[in-house]
Protein backbone atom coordinates (compact mmCIF):
# COMPACT_ATOMS: atom_id res chain seq x y z
CA UNK A 1 0.00 0.00 0.00
CA UNK A 2 2.84 2.37 0.94
CA UNK A 3 4.42 1.61 -2.38
CA UNK A 4 1.31 2.53 -4.33
CA UNK A 5 1.10 5.79 -2.34
CA UNK A 6 4.68 6.56 -3.20
CA UNK A 7 4.10 5.89 -6.83
CA UNK A 8 1.05 8.16 -6.81
CA UNK A 9 3.04 10.94 -5.12
CA UNK A 10 5.88 10.55 -7.59
CA UNK A 11 3.42 10.52 -10.45
CA UNK A 12 1.69 13.68 -9.19
CA UNK A 13 5.05 15.37 -8.67
CA UNK A 14 5.96 14.38 -12.20
CA UNK A 15 2.73 15.92 -13.52
CA UNK A 16 3.41 19.11 -11.58
CA UNK A 17 6.93 19.37 -12.90
CA UNK A 18 5.52 18.88 -16.39
CA UNK A 19 2.99 21.57 -15.75
CA UNK A 20 5.48 24.02 -14.33
CA UNK A 21 7.71 23.33 -17.26
CA UNK A 22 4.84 24.05 -19.61
CA UNK A 23 3.97 27.26 -17.90
CA UNK A 24 7.52 28.44 -17.71
CA UNK A 25 8.51 27.36 -21.11
CA UNK A 26 5.84 28.05 -23.63
CA UNK A 27 7.48 25.75 -26.08
CA UNK A 28 5.95 22.68 -24.46
CA UNK A 29 4.14 20.38 -26.77
CA UNK A 30 0.39 20.06 -26.62
CA UNK A 31 -0.44 17.16 -28.80
CA UNK A 32 1.78 17.84 -31.78
CA UNK A 33 0.92 21.53 -31.76
CA UNK A 34 3.95 23.39 -30.50
CA UNK A 35 2.89 26.63 -28.84
CA UNK A 36 3.79 29.68 -30.86
CA UNK A 37 5.74 32.61 -29.54
CA UNK A 38 5.71 35.99 -31.22
CA UNK A 39 8.38 38.61 -31.64
CA UNK A 40 7.07 42.07 -32.45
CA UNK A 41 9.32 45.03 -33.19
CA UNK A 42 9.00 48.70 -33.93
CA UNK A 43 11.28 51.40 -35.29
CA UNK A 44 11.74 55.07 -34.40
CA UNK A 45 8.86 56.90 -36.10
CA UNK A 46 11.30 59.29 -37.82
CA UNK A 47 12.97 56.55 -39.88
CA UNK A 48 12.13 56.11 -43.55
CA UNK A 49 11.02 53.06 -45.50
CA UNK A 50 14.43 51.90 -46.63
CA UNK A 51 16.14 52.00 -43.26
CA UNK A 52 13.16 50.04 -41.95
CA UNK A 53 13.86 47.37 -44.53
CA UNK A 54 17.35 47.17 -43.09
CA UNK A 55 16.04 46.84 -39.53
CA UNK A 56 13.84 43.97 -40.72
CA UNK A 57 17.00 42.09 -41.75
CA UNK A 58 18.57 42.61 -38.32
CA UNK A 59 15.49 41.31 -36.51
CA UNK A 60 14.82 38.51 -39.01
CA UNK A 61 18.27 37.15 -38.27
CA UNK A 62 17.55 37.28 -34.55
CA UNK A 63 14.42 35.24 -35.19
CA UNK A 64 16.45 32.84 -37.35
CA UNK A 65 18.50 32.08 -34.23
CA UNK A 66 15.48 31.94 -31.91
CA UNK A 67 13.60 29.39 -34.00
CA UNK A 68 16.39 26.92 -33.34
CA UNK A 69 15.09 26.71 -29.76
CA UNK A 70 11.45 27.69 -29.88
CA UNK A 71 8.50 28.13 -32.14
CA UNK A 72 8.92 31.86 -32.85
CA UNK A 73 7.01 33.91 -35.39
CA UNK A 74 8.02 37.42 -36.42
CA UNK A 75 5.17 39.94 -36.49
CA UNK A 76 5.54 42.42 -39.35
CA UNK A 77 5.13 46.02 -38.16
CA UNK A 78 2.56 47.85 -40.33
CA UNK A 79 3.63 50.87 -42.38
CA UNK A 80 2.23 54.14 -41.06
CA UNK A 81 2.41 57.63 -42.44
CA UNK A 82 6.18 57.81 -42.70
CA UNK A 83 7.82 61.20 -42.85
CA UNK A 84 8.17 61.13 -46.63
CA UNK A 85 4.78 59.65 -47.38
CA UNK A 86 2.93 62.90 -47.53
CA UNK A 87 -0.14 61.46 -49.19
CA UNK A 88 -0.78 58.81 -46.57
CA UNK A 89 -3.45 59.78 -44.12
CA UNK A 90 -2.40 60.06 -40.49
CA UNK A 91 -3.46 56.99 -38.49
CA UNK A 92 -3.71 54.68 -41.49
CA UNK A 93 -1.46 51.63 -41.52
CA UNK A 94 -0.63 49.41 -44.46
CA UNK A 95 0.21 45.70 -44.21
CA UNK A 96 3.45 44.32 -45.61
CA UNK A 97 1.58 42.55 -48.42
CA UNK A 98 1.00 45.96 -49.98
CA UNK A 99 4.73 46.16 -50.69
CA UNK A 100 6.30 42.73 -50.26
CA UNK A 101 5.66 39.15 -51.22
CA UNK A 102 4.88 37.81 -47.75
CA UNK A 103 4.95 34.18 -48.94
CA UNK A 104 8.54 34.78 -50.02
CA UNK A 105 9.45 36.23 -46.61
CA UNK A 106 7.93 33.11 -45.08
CA UNK A 107 10.36 30.91 -46.95
CA UNK A 108 13.11 32.40 -44.82
CA UNK A 109 11.55 32.69 -41.34
CA UNK A 110 7.94 32.46 -40.13
CA UNK A 111 6.25 35.87 -40.34
CA UNK A 112 2.70 37.13 -39.97
CA UNK A 113 1.00 40.48 -40.46
CA UNK A 114 0.09 42.41 -37.33
CA UNK A 115 -3.61 42.09 -38.16
CA UNK A 116 -3.30 38.33 -38.09
CA UNK A 117 -1.45 38.53 -34.80
CA UNK A 118 -4.38 40.50 -33.35
CA UNK A 119 -6.81 37.88 -34.59
CA UNK A 120 -4.77 35.05 -33.11
CA UNK A 121 -3.60 36.59 -29.84
CA UNK A 122 -5.60 39.74 -29.18
CA UNK A 123 -4.04 43.10 -28.36
CA UNK A 124 -1.77 41.78 -25.62
CA UNK A 125 1.95 41.39 -25.26
CA UNK A 126 3.79 39.75 -22.36
CA UNK A 127 6.88 41.93 -22.29
CA UNK A 128 7.94 45.07 -24.07
CA UNK A 129 11.57 46.16 -24.14
CA UNK A 130 12.12 49.64 -25.48
CA UNK A 131 15.72 49.88 -26.61
CA UNK A 132 17.83 52.95 -25.97
CA UNK A 133 21.50 53.83 -25.81
CA UNK A 134 23.26 54.28 -22.51
CA UNK A 135 22.56 57.75 -21.10
CA UNK A 136 26.29 58.18 -20.50
CA UNK A 137 27.10 57.24 -24.12
CA UNK A 138 29.76 54.74 -25.21
CA UNK A 139 31.75 53.55 -22.26
CA UNK A 140 35.39 52.83 -22.92
CA UNK A 141 36.08 49.87 -25.11
CA UNK A 142 33.42 48.14 -27.16
CA UNK A 143 31.53 45.46 -25.31
CA UNK A 144 28.14 43.96 -25.88
CA UNK A 145 25.84 44.64 -22.96
CA UNK A 146 22.36 45.60 -21.89
CA UNK A 147 20.80 46.80 -18.66
CA UNK A 148 17.31 47.68 -17.51
CA UNK A 149 17.35 51.47 -17.05
CA UNK A 150 14.95 54.37 -16.59
CA UNK A 151 13.50 55.44 -19.94
CA UNK A 152 15.43 58.29 -21.52
CA UNK A 153 13.36 58.90 -24.61
CA UNK A 154 9.70 59.48 -25.33
CA UNK A 155 7.58 56.38 -25.81
CA UNK A 156 3.91 55.55 -26.27
CA UNK A 157 3.26 53.54 -23.16
CA UNK A 158 1.66 54.53 -19.87
CA UNK A 159 0.97 52.68 -16.69
CA UNK A 160 -2.63 52.13 -15.68
CA UNK A 161 -3.21 51.59 -12.00
CA UNK A 162 -5.49 48.84 -10.82
CA UNK A 163 -5.05 46.64 -13.86
CA UNK A 164 -2.47 44.16 -12.53
CA UNK A 165 0.30 46.64 -13.22
CA UNK A 166 -0.16 46.54 -16.99
CA UNK A 167 1.06 49.19 -19.37
CA UNK A 168 -0.93 50.44 -22.33
CA UNK A 169 0.22 52.07 -25.52
CA UNK A 170 -0.93 52.94 -29.01
CA UNK A 171 0.93 50.73 -31.41
CA UNK A 172 0.08 50.84 -35.13
CA UNK A 173 -3.34 52.24 -34.41
CA UNK A 174 -4.24 49.66 -31.77
CA UNK A 175 -4.03 49.95 -28.02
CA UNK A 176 -1.72 47.20 -26.84
CA UNK A 177 -1.68 45.89 -23.28
CA UNK A 178 1.79 45.04 -22.02
CA UNK A 179 2.30 43.07 -18.83
CA UNK A 180 5.93 43.90 -18.21
CA UNK A 181 7.34 47.11 -19.61
CA UNK A 182 11.06 47.84 -19.55
CA UNK A 183 13.41 50.37 -21.06
CA UNK A 184 16.63 48.63 -21.95
CA UNK A 185 19.92 50.39 -22.51
CA UNK A 186 21.87 48.36 -25.01
CA UNK A 187 25.05 48.43 -26.99
CA UNK A 188 25.40 45.58 -29.35
CA UNK A 189 23.92 43.74 -32.26
CA UNK A 190 20.73 41.79 -32.82
CA UNK A 191 22.00 38.59 -31.19
CA UNK A 192 22.99 40.55 -28.07
CA UNK A 193 19.29 40.20 -27.26
CA UNK A 194 19.33 36.40 -27.39
CA UNK A 195 19.97 35.75 -23.66
CA UNK A 196 17.36 38.32 -22.67
CA UNK A 197 14.69 36.74 -24.85
CA UNK A 198 15.66 33.21 -23.85
CA UNK A 199 15.37 34.16 -20.17
CA UNK A 200 11.94 35.71 -20.62
CA UNK A 201 10.14 32.39 -20.51
CA UNK A 202 6.83 33.70 -19.22
CA UNK A 203 6.02 35.88 -22.18
CA UNK A 204 4.55 34.25 -25.22
CA UNK A 205 4.91 37.55 -27.05
CA UNK A 206 7.74 40.03 -26.80
CA UNK A 207 7.82 43.50 -28.31
CA UNK A 208 11.17 45.16 -29.09
CA UNK A 209 10.75 48.92 -29.44
CA UNK A 210 13.25 51.21 -31.20
CA UNK A 211 14.80 48.14 -32.82
CA UNK A 212 17.09 50.30 -34.99
CA UNK A 213 19.22 50.75 -31.84
CA UNK A 214 20.85 47.36 -32.39
CA UNK A 215 23.29 46.68 -35.20
CA UNK A 216 23.47 43.84 -37.68
CA UNK A 217 25.05 40.58 -36.62
CA UNK A 218 26.93 40.64 -39.91
CA UNK A 219 26.12 43.37 -42.38
CA UNK A 220 26.69 42.13 -45.89
CA UNK A 221 27.36 38.54 -44.81
CA UNK A 222 25.74 35.30 -45.90
CA UNK A 223 22.70 35.60 -43.63
CA UNK A 224 22.27 39.24 -44.45
CA UNK A 225 21.92 38.37 -48.10
CA UNK A 226 19.65 35.40 -47.50
CA UNK A 227 17.19 37.58 -45.58
CA UNK A 228 17.60 40.30 -48.19
CA UNK A 229 16.80 37.94 -51.04
CA UNK A 230 13.62 36.84 -49.31
CA UNK A 231 12.37 40.45 -49.40
CA UNK A 232 10.83 40.30 -52.82
CA UNK A 233 8.43 43.02 -53.84
CA UNK A 234 4.73 42.34 -54.14
CA UNK A 235 3.54 41.09 -57.51
CA UNK A 236 1.28 44.06 -58.23
CA UNK A 237 4.31 46.37 -57.97
CA UNK A 238 6.57 44.14 -60.03
CA UNK A 239 3.92 43.91 -62.74
CA UNK A 240 3.50 47.68 -62.83
CA UNK A 241 7.27 48.10 -63.20
CA UNK A 242 7.38 45.44 -65.91
CA UNK A 243 4.65 47.23 -67.91
CA UNK A 244 6.38 50.56 -67.54
CA UNK A 245 9.77 49.19 -68.61
CA UNK A 246 8.22 47.55 -71.66
CA UNK A 247 6.20 50.60 -72.74
CA UNK A 248 8.57 53.45 -71.91
CA UNK A 249 12.05 51.99 -71.88
CA UNK A 250 12.03 49.09 -74.33
CA UNK A 251 13.20 46.88 -71.50
CA UNK A 252 12.21 43.32 -70.59
CA UNK A 253 13.77 40.55 -68.56
CA UNK A 254 14.55 38.28 -71.48
CA UNK A 255 16.52 40.88 -73.45
CA UNK A 256 17.98 42.43 -70.32
CA UNK A 257 19.02 39.02 -68.98
CA UNK A 258 17.42 39.75 -65.64
CA UNK A 259 15.07 36.80 -65.35
CA UNK A 260 14.74 35.48 -61.80
CA UNK A 261 13.73 32.11 -60.41
CA UNK A 262 10.26 31.67 -58.98
CA UNK A 263 11.85 30.85 -55.62
CA UNK A 264 14.78 33.01 -54.54
CA UNK A 265 16.32 30.00 -52.79
CA UNK A 266 17.01 28.43 -56.18
CA UNK A 267 18.93 31.48 -57.34
CA UNK A 268 22.63 31.22 -57.96
CA UNK A 269 23.89 34.54 -59.20
CA UNK A 270 26.31 34.84 -62.05
CA UNK A 271 27.99 38.18 -61.54
CA UNK A 272 28.07 40.22 -64.68
CA UNK A 273 25.50 38.06 -66.47
CA UNK A 274 22.78 40.73 -66.30
CA UNK A 275 22.80 43.24 -69.15
CA UNK A 276 19.99 45.59 -68.20
CA UNK A 277 17.61 47.68 -70.27
CA UNK A 278 18.87 50.28 -72.78
CA UNK A 279 18.84 53.21 -70.35
CA UNK A 280 20.80 54.53 -67.44
CA UNK A 281 18.95 55.06 -64.18
CA UNK A 282 19.51 57.82 -61.70
CA UNK A 283 18.31 58.13 -58.13
CA UNK A 284 18.39 61.84 -57.47
CA UNK A 285 17.65 62.34 -53.79
CA UNK A 286 16.69 65.94 -52.94
CA UNK A 287 14.35 67.25 -50.21
CA UNK A 288 15.93 66.88 -46.74
CA UNK A 289 19.24 65.73 -48.26
CA UNK A 290 19.87 69.18 -49.71
CA UNK A 291 19.88 70.55 -46.18
CA UNK A 292 21.49 67.62 -44.42
CA UNK A 293 24.18 66.67 -46.94
CA UNK A 294 24.56 69.97 -48.80
CA UNK A 295 28.06 69.58 -50.26
CA UNK A 296 27.42 66.01 -51.36
CA UNK A 297 24.18 66.76 -53.23
CA UNK A 298 24.63 68.16 -56.74
CA UNK A 299 22.81 71.16 -58.12
CA UNK A 300 20.48 70.20 -60.98
CA UNK A 301 23.05 71.58 -63.41
CA UNK A 302 25.85 69.46 -62.01
CA UNK A 303 23.57 66.43 -61.91
CA UNK A 304 22.64 66.97 -65.57
CA UNK A 305 26.31 67.22 -66.53
CA UNK A 306 27.13 63.94 -64.83
CA UNK A 307 24.15 62.22 -66.42
CA UNK A 308 25.20 63.45 -69.88
CA UNK A 309 28.71 62.14 -69.37
CA UNK A 310 27.38 58.75 -68.37
CA UNK A 311 25.01 58.56 -71.32
CA UNK A 312 27.94 59.24 -73.65
CA UNK A 313 30.15 56.75 -71.87
CA UNK A 314 27.46 54.05 -72.02
CA UNK A 315 26.51 54.98 -75.57
CA UNK A 316 22.86 55.40 -74.55
CA UNK A 317 20.30 58.11 -75.13
CA UNK A 318 17.72 57.41 -72.43
CA UNK A 319 17.89 58.32 -68.74
CA UNK A 320 15.33 57.15 -66.23
CA UNK A 321 15.10 59.52 -63.27
CA UNK A 322 13.78 58.50 -59.87
CA UNK A 323 13.57 61.46 -57.56
CA UNK A 324 11.74 63.00 -54.64
CA UNK A 325 12.24 66.45 -56.17
CA UNK A 326 9.24 68.67 -56.95
CA UNK A 327 7.89 68.53 -60.53
CA UNK A 328 9.43 71.91 -61.44
CA UNK A 329 12.89 70.59 -60.62
CA UNK A 330 12.29 67.56 -62.78
CA UNK A 331 11.18 69.85 -65.64
CA UNK A 332 14.37 71.89 -65.21
CA UNK A 333 16.47 68.74 -65.32
CA UNK A 334 14.70 67.64 -68.50
CA UNK A 335 15.53 70.98 -70.08
CA UNK A 336 19.15 70.65 -69.03
CA UNK A 337 19.20 67.23 -70.68
CA UNK A 338 17.62 68.31 -73.97
CA UNK A 339 18.65 66.09 -76.82
CA UNK A 340 18.21 63.02 -74.64
CA UNK A 341 15.13 61.06 -73.72
CA UNK A 342 14.37 61.69 -70.05
CA UNK A 343 11.86 59.32 -68.48
CA UNK A 344 10.04 59.60 -65.19
CA UNK A 345 7.45 57.27 -63.66
CA UNK A 346 4.01 58.80 -63.18
CA UNK A 347 1.42 56.36 -61.85
CA UNK A 348 -2.14 56.15 -63.07
CA UNK A 349 -4.43 57.73 -60.44
CA UNK A 350 -6.01 54.31 -59.74
CA UNK A 351 -2.63 52.82 -59.02
CA UNK A 352 -1.72 55.76 -56.83
CA UNK A 353 -5.00 55.44 -54.96
CA UNK A 354 -4.23 51.83 -54.13
CA UNK A 355 -0.52 51.81 -53.33
CA UNK A 356 0.27 55.42 -52.64
CA UNK A 357 3.74 56.94 -52.03
CA UNK A 358 5.24 53.65 -50.87
CA UNK A 359 4.13 51.76 -53.97
CA UNK A 360 5.43 54.41 -56.36
CA UNK A 361 8.79 54.53 -54.63
CA UNK A 362 9.13 50.77 -55.09
CA UNK A 363 8.24 50.94 -58.79
CA UNK A 364 10.96 53.61 -59.11
CA UNK A 365 13.39 51.28 -57.37
CA UNK A 366 12.54 48.30 -59.56
CA UNK A 367 12.96 50.34 -62.74
CA UNK A 368 16.32 51.67 -61.48
CA UNK A 369 17.41 48.12 -60.66
CA UNK A 370 16.96 46.95 -64.23
CA UNK A 371 18.94 49.66 -66.02
CA UNK A 372 22.18 49.02 -67.86
CA UNK A 373 23.87 51.42 -65.46
CA UNK A 374 22.79 52.94 -62.16
CA UNK A 375 23.96 56.01 -60.31
CA UNK A 376 22.55 56.89 -56.91
CA UNK A 377 22.79 59.52 -54.21
CA UNK A 378 25.29 59.84 -51.38
CA UNK A 379 24.36 57.84 -48.27
CA UNK A 380 20.78 57.26 -49.32
CA UNK A 381 19.28 53.99 -48.09
CA UNK A 382 16.89 54.28 -51.06
CA UNK A 383 19.95 54.02 -53.34
CA UNK A 384 21.52 51.26 -51.22
CA UNK A 385 18.47 49.04 -51.60
CA UNK A 386 18.63 49.50 -55.41
CA UNK A 387 22.29 48.49 -55.36
CA UNK A 388 21.42 45.33 -53.45
CA UNK A 389 18.67 44.51 -55.92
CA UNK A 390 21.17 44.83 -58.75
CA UNK A 391 23.58 42.53 -56.94
CA UNK A 392 20.80 39.96 -56.68
CA UNK A 393 19.99 40.36 -60.38
CA UNK A 394 23.63 39.71 -61.27
CA UNK A 395 24.89 43.06 -62.60
CA UNK A 396 28.58 43.82 -62.84
CA UNK A 397 29.55 45.88 -59.83
CA UNK A 398 30.91 48.74 -61.97
CA UNK A 399 27.39 49.45 -63.16
CA UNK A 400 25.93 49.52 -59.65
CA UNK A 401 28.05 51.14 -56.95
CA UNK A 402 28.04 54.67 -58.27
CA UNK A 403 26.91 57.97 -56.85
CA UNK A 404 26.40 61.50 -58.07
CA UNK A 405 29.03 63.92 -56.82
CA UNK A 406 28.11 67.19 -55.17
CA UNK A 407 30.41 70.20 -55.09
CA UNK A 408 33.53 68.24 -55.99
CA UNK A 409 34.00 67.02 -59.55
CA UNK A 410 35.15 63.63 -58.34
CA UNK A 411 34.12 62.05 -55.09
CA UNK A 412 34.43 58.87 -53.10
CA UNK A 413 32.21 56.15 -54.51
CA UNK A 414 29.99 53.88 -52.42
CA UNK A 415 31.41 50.77 -50.78
CA UNK A 416 30.85 47.62 -52.85
CA UNK A 417 28.69 45.37 -50.71
CA UNK A 418 28.81 42.33 -52.90
CA UNK A 419 26.48 39.42 -52.55
CA UNK A 420 27.89 36.35 -50.79
CA UNK A 421 26.44 32.93 -50.18
Given the rule CB under 6 A, which residues bind ligand NAG?
126-127, 179-180, 202-203, 315, 396, 398
Which of Mg ion, ligand GDP, ligand NAG, none lies near 127, with the C-beta cut-off 5 to 8 A by kind? ligand NAG
Q: How far is the CA of 314 from the CAs of 2, 98, 271, 277, 278, in angstroms?
A: 93, 35, 19, 12, 9
For this structure, is 389 an active site residue? Answer: no
Binds ligand GDP (CB under 6 A): choice among 84, 155, 293, 396: 84
Is the CB of 44 or the CB of 182 nearer to ligand NAG? 182
Q: Count CA atoms closer than 13 A to 196's CA, side-chain side.
A: 26
| Binding range to Mg ion, per CB under 5 A, among 41-49, 203-211, 237-245, 332-340 | 41-49
- Is 203 among the residues that bind ligand GDP (CB under 6 A)? no
Does 48 contact Mg ion by CB under 5 A?
Answer: yes
Among ligand NAG, ligand GDP, Mg ion, none, partner that 391 touches (CB below 5 to 8 angstroms by kind):
none
392 CB neighbour count, 10 Å cutoff: 21
In this structure, are residues 235 and 67 in contact, taking their beta carbons and an 8 Å threshold?
no
Shortest gap between Cβ of 198 and ligand GDP (angstroms)?
32
Closest CA to 207 of 93, 121, 147: 121
Shortest CB 46 distance to Mg ion, Å: 8
Pairing of strands 167-171, 157-159: antiparallel
Helix (H) or strand (E) holding 34: strand 33-34
Enter the DSSP assignment of 202: S
The binder of 315, among ligand GDP, ligand NAG, Mg ion, none, by C-beta within 5 to 8 A per type, is ligand NAG
Closest CA to 132 of 76, 208, 207: 208
> Residue 382 binds which one of ligand NAG, Mg ion, ligand GDP, none, with CB within 5 to 8 A depending on kind?
ligand GDP
The 10 Å Cβ neighbour count of residue 62 is 25
| Comparison of 167 and 382: residue with beta carbon closer to ligand NAG | 167
The C-alpha atoms of residue 294 and residue 242 are separated, in whole angstroms, by: 34
Interface contacts to ligand GDP, rule CB under 6 A: 48-51, 84-85, 283, 285, 322-324, 357, 360-361, 364, 380-382
Interface contacts to Mg ion, rule CB under 5 A: 48
Amino acid sequence: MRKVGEIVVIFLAFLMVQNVKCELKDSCERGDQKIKRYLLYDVNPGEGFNLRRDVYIRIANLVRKLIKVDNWVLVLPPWGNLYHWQNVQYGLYAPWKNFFDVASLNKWIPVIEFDDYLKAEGSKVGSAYILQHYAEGWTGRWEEKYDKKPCIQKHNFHHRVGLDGSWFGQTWGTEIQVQNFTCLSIQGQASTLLPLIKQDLKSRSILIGRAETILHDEYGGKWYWAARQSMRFANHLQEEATRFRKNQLDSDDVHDKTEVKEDWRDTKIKRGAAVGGPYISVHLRRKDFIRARGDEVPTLKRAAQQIKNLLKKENLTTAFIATDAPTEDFQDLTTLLSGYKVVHYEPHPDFFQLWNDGGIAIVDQIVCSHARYFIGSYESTFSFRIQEEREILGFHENTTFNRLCGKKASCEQPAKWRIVY
